[in-house]
Amino acid sequence: MIKGCQKRIIFVKDTGSDYFEEAYFIMKSDSELPKTEESDIVKEAENIVNASLAEPSPARKVKIGARSVCFFIGVFIGALIGGILFGLIL
């Protein structure tokens, strides 16, 4: 049994998301937090929720595209080497 354990939680009910109804934020212990107002903490939680609802950044889209290009180049090179080796066997 644990005695004296206390966690502070911020609960955001209406996230504005099509996917999430609620969000829970578990705060760090008081010794790890700088001096802040409660309203600043609530604003930070709302900012995190809003940032998660935003469109993916253009950099993320580029990474996905670059990954696909690398994949197809690898497939092409593998097929080319396989074709050359197959031609040498025959």
In 10 A of CB 24, how many CB atoms? 9
CA dihedral 55, 58, 60, 64 (to 10 degrees): 110
The sign of the CA dihedral 15, 19, 20, 25 is negative
Whether residues 47 and 68 fall in one domain: no
Whether 64 and 37 map to the same domain: the answer is no
Which has more confidence, 41 or 4? 41
Q: How much of the chain exceeds pLDDT 90, in percent?
A: 11
pLDDT for 14 equals 77
Q: Note the pLDDT tens digit of each residue in 3-30.
A: 666 777 888 787 777 777 888 888 877 6
The answer on 45 and 26 residing in a single domain is: yes
Q: By residue range, what is the domain housing residue 42?
A: 1-54
The model's pTM? 0.42
Identify whether residues 47 and 64 lie together within a single domain.
no
